[in-house]
Amino acid sequence: MIIASRTVVPKASSRRRTRRLLSSDNSLPYLLLVPALIALGCILVVPLIYNIWLSFHEYNLLRPARNTFVGFGNYLKVIQDPAHVSSLFLTVRFTAITVLAEVILGTSLALLLNLPFPGNHFVRTLVLVPMLISEVVAGLSWRLIYHTEFGLLNYLIGLFGLSPQVWLGPDLALPSVMIVEIWQHTPFVTLIMLAGLQTVPRELLESSMMDGASRWQRFRYVVLPLITPILLLALVFRTMFTLRVFAPVWVLTGGGPADSTLVIGVDIYRAAFRYYNLGIAATLSIILLAVTLAITLVYMRLLRREALT
Amino acid sequence: MFRRLFFAAAVSITLGAGGVHAQTLTMLVSSGGSGRTFEAAAKHFSAATGIPVNVIQNPYAEVREKQLLELVGKTGNLDVISVDGTIWMPEVAPFLDPIDEQTTDTKHLIPSMVDLFRADGKLVALPVRIAGWVLIYRKDLFDAAGLKPPTTWEEFRFAARTLTKDGVYGFAPALRQGNYLVVQWIPFLFSHGGQILNKERTAAAFNSPEGIKATQFFVDLVRDGLVPPGATAYEQSDIITAISQGIAAMALTYSPYFLNMNNPKESKVAGKLAIAPSLPRDPATGMTTGRTLISGWGFGVAASSRNKKEAHQFIQFVASDAEQKRLAVENNNAPTASAVYKDPDYLKVFPAAADVQGALASASDRPLVESWTMIEDILARELSAAVTGTKTVKEALDAAEKAVNAAL
């Protein structure tokens, strides 16, 4: 009896606790989160853990029987290989230049589109078009535009008496790929900044005008402080996406000439799907993740400071 | 394991979507010219035998990746496996069902093509499409300049220099970093007496006096301005465009491209092109003709297939004289059956067929090594550095040799 009561009581109490938990107002949101958390766990956490596991193994798909634990061996291999290291630095440089250009151009475009003028809505739609095109299709179209002998760009500069350029040659390949990236993703920044600009209270602008602030002063001291959190958000998103750039580089140059456009995305692809060396590919992607996280944390800290001030 | 299962599941879903039922043969093929050819072959086979064949076309890289994941996972979802010559052979050969040469007729096929698909002495696939590199030239320009198709590299350089004028360049090569650049360079290497690897396939052999001479010759064509300025970004398709638009006099490229270049609907120079009977050679080597690069598609049967008998029947059907002729005449396929090259119906649609066969008589493929893809990427990087002037030929080949030996 005693044993029975001992076993029954906790069961009843736990059932009661569960019922209380279900009926409580506080717990319902958490319960509703469960399916989403399970889904996230399956598609995010499990592959991430598996990727980390892979990075500690010598794992080649062609030799599944010979996969062994190598500790930090893959990390050492990557760090000691100048090709991998230079691809990482190139990616950071590529990201810094393109994201900066996208933010300056995107913000300028947003400021322009925030002004009332006839056909404003049509122009807004037009500006967004590059963002809607698939990256591969955009890359292929730009390959034709950049073609030295038959491309549109050399035809256009020829009209001004300039000699044709080898846009995807050793000197211009990197800037040419960057232009495509900037062309395609500036609209994203424009879209975000435009939404941010529309949240700036009209009264503030009007009162600054009455105080005699110039157009630049209004932007610098009224608009900019108010849209800085949005600007940082655009920076975070664009930095995260650009660090893993792959399609435009792969389609336009394949990483060449002479590895001059070899970004880490292409390096990972080669390791994983050309050499089937999943260990090295996983290591490179973990390093990329660490770099992305570090940069994002800096942004988040800035964002938090902005929010507090 | 997780990744393999994931891919296998994804491919299985794709394959399942086609409504596969028992005895249906399933295969993945590379989309484009070869995909269309094999799709036609599958239709002919189904009409003749009543056995349905589910042909799934994917981009080249995806076919390689998906096939390998299916084979490694032994899923049995694929019956027929397409093999891109020696590039894919080391990866897929261990998973293919050997072909019994006692009961399968291979004598009607071009012997060097059959040899491409042997691993450890065992035949594992039958050749169904040739990819051979030939010298295509503008006969009208050569005739007007009093030139003959070059038989030595010096004659080749002279012709290129003579014909580089009035917006036309002597030679159109594919020099973009990648597979294109390496396969463009290999016939130059072979025809100067060079080799990619040593006989044992244990070390790089291209950094030899012959290899350096070949590479210097190749690079000098670019430095001397005998190729279009944009050639450093050219892929194979750009060669077709350069010849078809009349801005280049010669191309050393994949033989079926001759049909695109000679097609009046696509080309400004249709009817003005010819194929050199052989590749130029370096007389110092004592070779009687140049030696070109040959590769091609083969069909094998997956060891994990549940329809092996029907799959073997299918690959023999596609490699037969009759089907090879039909695919050559109707689908521009470069045939692997010797008899087709003398067939009047084929010669009517492709009069240069005899020249192609002659040019391919002296040919070799890339060495059969598992790390070929890595070697190819190393060579592409260093050759790209040499043709763009980032490195000298010596520096590029030294760096390539070191990296290739490490990869082997």
pLDDT digits (tens, 9 = 90+) for B346-375: 988 888 888 888 888 788 888 888 888 899
Contact B230 A270 (CB under 8 A): no
B132: helix, strand or coil: strand
Predicted confidence (pLDDT) at residue A12 exceeds the cutoff of 70: no
pLDDT in tens, A118-153: 888 899 989 999 999 999 999 999 999 999 999 999
Choose among A191, A262, A202, A267: nearest CA to A233.
Answer: A191
Do A256 and B177 count as a contact with CB atoms less than 8 A apart?
A: yes
* Residue position matching structure tokens 């993703």: A185
Report the candidate in B320, B285, B283 with the shortest Cα–Cα distance to residue B299.
B320
Distance from CA of B262 to the nearest CA of A (A): 20
Chain A from 253 to 282: CB within 8 A of any B CB: 253-260, 270, 273-276, 278
Residue range B198-228, pLDDT digits in tens = 999 999 999 999 999 999 999 999 999 999 9
- Pick the residue from chain A with its C-alpha nearest to B65: A273
Q: H/E element holding B325?
A: helix B321-331
Asked if the model's pLDDT at residue A295 lies above 60, the reply is yes
Same domain, B22 and B124: yes
Residues B156 and B106 in one domain: no
Measured CA to CA in angstroms, residue A23 lies from A20, A29, A35, A123 at distances of 5, 11, 19, 52
pLDDT at residue A3, as a whole number: 41
Mutate to test the interface with A, among B58, B168, B177, B392 (most CBs of A within 10 A): B177
pLDDT at B6 over 70: no
Which one-letter amino acid corresponds to residue A61? L
Neighbours of A172 (CB within 10 A): 16
Contact B389 A259 (CB under 8 A): no
pLDDT value of residue A8 = 45
CB contact under 8 A, A169 and B385: no
Interchain pair A254, B377: CB under 8 A: no
Residue B212: phi and psi, rounded to 5, are -65, -40
- The average confidence (pLDDT) of chain B is 90
Residue B384: list chain A partners with CB under 8 A: 256-259
The H or E element that residue B86 is part of is: helix B85-92
Name the residue of chain A whose CA is nearest to B396's CA.
A258
Mean pLDDT confidence for A247-268: 94
- Is residue A97 packed enough to be buried (19+ CB in 10 Å), middle (13-18) or exposed (0-12)? middle
Report the 3 state secondary structure along chain A: CHHHHHHHHHHHHHHHHHHHHHHCCCHHHHHHHHHHHHHHHHHHHHHHHHHHHHHCEECECCCHHHCEECCCHHHHHHHHCHHHHHHHHHHHHHHHHHHHHHHHHHHHHHHHHCCCCCCHHHHHHHHHHHHHCCHHHHHHHHHHHHCCCCCHHHHHHHHCCCCCCCCCCCCCHHHHHHHHHHHHHHHHHHHHHHHHHCCCCHHHHHHHHHCCCCHHHHHHHHHHHHHHHHHHHHHHHHHHHHHCCCHHHHHHCCCCCCCCCCCHHHHHHHHHHHCCEHHHHHHHHHHHHHHHHHHHHHHHHHHHHHHHC
Highest mean pLDDT among A230-234, A302-306, B322-326: B322-326
Select from B263, B234, B216 the least CA-distant residue to B169: B234
Please, are residues B360 and B338 in contact by the beta-carbon 8 Å criterion? no
List all residues of chain A from 106 to 135 with a beta carbon under 8 Å from chain B.
none
User: Could you tell me how far CA B151 lies from the centroid of its own chain?
Assistant: 23
Phi and psi angles of residue B268, each rounded to the nearest 5 degrees, phi first: -80, -15
- Residue-averaged pLDDT of chain A: 88
Same domain, B207 and B299: no
B237 shares its domain with B373: yes
Residues of A in Cβ contact (< 8 Å) with B84: none
- Residue B285, pLDDT > 50, answer yes
Q: Are residues B248 and B330 in the same domain?
A: no
Contact residues, chain B to chain A, C-beta under 8 Å: 2-4, 61, 65, 68-69, 72, 91, 176-178, 228-230, 232-233, 238, 241-242, 245, 247, 370-371, 373-374, 377, 380-382, 384-385, 387-391
For B375, nearest residue in chain A (alpha carbons) = A275
Q: Write phi, then psi, for B211 (nearest 5 degrees).
A: -65, -40
Question: How many angstroms separate the CA of residue B193 from the nearest CA in chain A?
Answer: 26
What's the ipTM? Answer: 0.79
- Residues paired with residue B27 on neighbouring β-strands, in sequence order: B55, B80
pLDDT at B15: 47
Cβ atoms of B336 and B128 closer than 8 Å: yes
Cross-chain Cβ contact B233/A148 below 8 Å: yes
Decide if A124 contacts A111 (C-beta within 8 A).
no
pLDDT of residue B1: 46
Enter the tokens of residue B206.
Answer: 């291209």
B178–A258: do the CB atoms touch at under 8 Å?
no
| The pLDDT of residue A202 is above 60 | yes
The reply to whether residue A61 touches residue B4, judged by beta carbons under 8 angstroms, is: yes
H-run or E-run covering B292? strand B292-301
- Residues B47, B183: one domain? no
Q: Which domain holds residue B256?
A: 132-293+366-407
Alpha-carbon distance B329 to nearest alpha carbon in chain A (angstroms): 32
Give the domain CATH number at B190: 3.40.190.10
Instruction: Give the pLDDT of residue B237.
Output: 87
**Element housing B135 (H / E):** strand B125-138
pLDDT higher than 50, residue B337: yes
How far is the CA of A115 from the CAs of A41, A206, A218, B305, in angstroms? 45, 15, 14, 66
Closest CB to B233 among A50, A64, A166: A166
CA distances to A121, A203, A227 from A107, rounded to whole Å, are 17, 22, 10
- Give residue B23's pLDDT: 82
Q: What's the confidence (pLDDT) of residue A154?
A: 96
Interatomic CA distance for residues A19 and B52, integer angstroms: 59
Work out the angle at residue B135's Cα, subtended by the Cα atoms of residues B130 and B136, and round it to the nearest 5 degrees.
Answer: 100
**Count of domains forming chain B:** 2
Residue of chain A whose alpha carbon sits nearest to that of B231: A148
Report how far residue A3's alpha carbon sits from residue A191's, in angstroms, rounded to the nearest whole number.
68
Are B325 and B340 within 8 A, CB to CB? yes
Residues contacting A91, CB < 8 A, separation 6+: A243, A245, A263, A264, A265, A288
> Rounded distance, CA A98 to CA A185, Å?
9
pLDDT in tens, B78-102: 999 999 988 899 889 999 999 988 8
Whether A158 and chain B come into contact, CB under 8 Å, resolves to no
| Residues from chain A contacting residue B377 (CB–CB below 8 Å) | 270, 274
d(CA B309, CA B319): 16
Which chain B residues are closer than 8 Å to A166 by Cβ?
Answer: 229-230, 232-233
**What integer is the mean pLDDT of A238-256?**
93
Question: Which residue did the predictor score with more confidence, B128 or A308?
Answer: B128
* Separation between Cα atoms, residue A305 and residue A200, nearest integer Å: 20
Contact call for B233 and A276, based on CB within 8 A: no
d(CA A71, CA A74): 8
**Helix (H) or strand (E) run with residue B26 in it:** strand B25-30
- Cβ neighbours around A140 below 10 Å, total: 14
Closest residue of A to B400, CA-based? A258
Q: In this structure, are B83 and B218 located in the same domain?
A: no
Provide the pLDDT for residue B162.
97
Contacts of residue B61 in chain A, CB cutoff 8 Å? 273
- HSE (CB half, 13 Å, CA atoms) of B275? 25
**DSSP-based three-state secondary structure for B293:** strand
Q: Which of A64, A167, A257 has its CB closest to that of B388?
A: A257
Among the ranges given (A69-78, B63-72, B158-167), the one the predictor scored with the smallest mean pLDDT:
B63-72
A–B interface: beta-carbon pairs under 8 A: 96
Whether A61 and B68 lie within 8 Å, measured CB to CB? yes
On whether both B272 and B333 belong to a single domain, the answer is: no
Q: Is the pLDDT reported for residue B16 higher than 50?
A: no
Which two three-digit tokens encode residue B323? 């089907």
Give the per-residue pLDDT at A309.
63
Instruction: Read off the pLDDT of residues A172-195 as tens digits, 9 standing for 90 and up.
Output: 999 999 999 999 999 999 999 999
Our CA-based measurement puts residue A239 at a distance from the nearest CA of chain B, in whole angstroms, of: 27
How many of the other CB atoms lie within 10 Å of CB of B160? 21
Closest by Cβ to B228, choosing from A46, A148, A273: A148
Shared domain for B173 and B229, answered yes or no, is yes
Q: Which of A53, A149, A280 to mutate to test the interface with B (most CBs of B within 10 A)?
A: A149
**Alpha-carbon distance A169 to B67, whole Å?**
35
- B229 and A149 in contact by Cβ < 8 A? yes
CA distance A238 to A247: 15
Over residues B273-282, the mean pLDDT reads 93
The β-bridge partners of B138 are: B273
Q: Give SS3 for B297.
A: strand
Do B80 and B19 belong to one domain?
Answer: yes
> Given a cut of 90, is residue B403 above it in pLDDT?
yes
Superfamily of segment(s) A82-139+166-308: MetI-like (1.10.3720.10)
* pLDDT at residue B19 in the model: 43
Report how far Cα B242 is from the mean position of its chain's Cα atoms: 20
% pLDDT > 90, chain A: 61
Token duo for residue B134 = 């030939």
A169 interaction partners in chain B (CB closer than 8 Å): 229-230, 232-233, 388
The backbone region for B224, taken as left when phi is positive above 0, alpha when psi lies in -120 to 50, beta otherwise, is alpha
Residues from chain B contacting residue A173 (CB–CB below 8 Å): 233
Show the tokens assigned to A207.
């009162």
Regarding whether B377 and B335 lie in a shared domain, the answer is no
Query: In chain A, what are the domain boundaries?
Result: 2-55, 82-139+166-308
The SS3 call for residue B82 is: strand
Percent of chain A with pLDDT over 70: 90
**Mean pLDDT lowest for which of A28-32, A75-79, A261-265, B67-71?**
A28-32
Cα dihedral A294, A296, A302, A307 sign: negative
